Structure 1
């Protein structure tokens, strides 16, 4: 979602990013498609777009793709692509991206090699590679999020772990086996008190961010083709969480 919910952005298998004007809430969902809803198409990626992130502070959109590149866009500009990182796939293929909450000029990117890289949008250079994943098990990182109030990156791993890394030193602060299967998705609540994780073990887990302990577990979805939960989200203002699963269901929990 873009600024104040006026726009939303989607990335596709065709490599394009599409910008959409949020329709009026009173619109008939079964009405004919209004072509005016699509405001722009951002072209540049040569393969599937895996993840998008939007910064309200910078009014910038960030994307990562199977073509190996990480791109920063100004969606309202006639030349939207501002910066391209990882052109030579030096860190592998990016899987997830997030803007820093403490320093919005930084963006953190996770890769299928197990690396997590911090980039500076002002200098258009990489700042550092955060401490690499240990060599045991699958090194793929499925998701990265920024801590809401501290310079910390949090990553979800295929080998069932969640890791907390210091953006200033690059060192791992905490690593824990968080699920019985791959951890696929993460999100933090708007107030910065909780972390939610989803996994292919069919569970959604709620964690206290300050002491990193699990306070609630919800069995949310059924497995399909060895996959279960693909995404989780907090409501921006109400005590609600949502999950989306491979079983084609989206669920909302109080």
Structure 2
């Protein structure tokens, strides 16, 4: 894993290599001091952003597909290819609960903004909502026979939006478990979905290489953005809602104006397909992760090519065997 960051006032650069396989997703802690990464190597790693060092490695039985922080930053939920999600206490580095119920691999996980519930989605054609305090299953949202690839909470935690391989997007009443709106327009899998900070728009990324913006409750398609040459694997709104960032298997990260669909920036920051992204809570930086096993943190407003040259000129340091062992946690709790 490579972490790098340059600021207008100077340069603060740290480099780490930790993951042994494709990095699938990334999430900033709510206070912006830590990064969590999910990987095909069966681990989720928590990194201290200031020290550029790993503070915990959470080991799973299979690949880790996604993760999400609780709003207070005290817990982390991880989604595993083993059909279960796990809630972890970050401070104590202990596993608190295992969320079992899905019949196939999990594709994504999302913590509600009010902190009370967790949503998971799976290849088993369901999304499930769980009580975040004890892991009790509350609601099962059943799609058709298609995978559900994305799940995102509305800012008020009342609704859950899901995207699936049937090319459609569905908005659900998260308390009643009923579909409110179904949105059609993509010509291939709708893989990821993100709710705008003001709750007025949804963004979806698809295998049809497009990003589309929608009005959540009328189902109206507002904007279609084109430019990616491969499937769009991640979409994320900036915290102020003024920009939309996307990543793709075409190895690029792109920044867009969501009001008119204009492409603002395109950057080839990775050497392989880009799998996920996350904005820093203050909107100043963007973290992206890739099949090339790296995560890169960059400032979109700066000269990106200059930053890349600086980052690639740094010396890499691998975690020692003792560091790896010191961060490892048990795979499961007894009886889990």
Structures share fold, TM-score greater than 0.5:
yes
Quick one: distance in 2 between partners of 1:132 and 1:126?
A: 18
Query: Which one of 96, 120, 123 corresponds to residue 150 of structure 2?
Result: 96
Point out the more displaced range, 193-202 or 175-184.
175-184
Q: Could you tell me whether the CA contact under 8 Å between 1:91 and 1:115 is conserved in 2?
A: no
In the alignment, structure 1 segments of 5+ residues that lack a partner are 25-35
In the other structure, the counterpart of 1:45 is: 102
Of 8-17 and 176-185, deviating more is: 176-185
Which whole-Å CA distance do the structure 1 matches of 2:222 and 2:145 have between them?
A: 22
Q: State the match for 2:182 in structure 1.
A: 129
Shift of the 108–91 alpha-carbon distance from structure 1 to 2, 3 Å rule, reads farther
How many angstroms apart in 1 are the aligned matches of 2:84 and 2:145? Answer: 23
For residues 2-60 of structure 1, give each alpha carbon's deviation from its aligned partner in whole angstroms, at most 9, with x where no partner exists: 12211000011111110011137xxxxxxxxxxx6111111111211100111122521
Q: Which of residues 240, 259, 274 in structure 2 aligns to 1:229?
A: 274
Distance 1:105 1:150, change over 3 A: closer
Match of 1:170 among 206, 213, 219: 219
Superposition TM-score, scaled by structure 2 size: 0.66
CA distance in 2, matches of 1:183, 1:90: 22
CA distance in 2, matches of 1:150, 1:63: 20
Deviations 1:150-179, CA, capped at 9 Å, x for gaps: 422110011110011111211211112131
How many corresponding residue pairs? 231
Q: Quick one: which of 238, 251, 259 aligns to 1:189? A: 238
Superposition deviation, residue 208 in structure 1: 2.1
Q: Which has the higher contact order (CA 8 A, sep 6+)?
A: 2
* TM-score, normalization by structure 1: 0.86
Match of 1:216 among 247, 262, 265: 265
* Correspondence for 1:14: 82
Contact 1:141 1:157 in 2 (8 A): yes
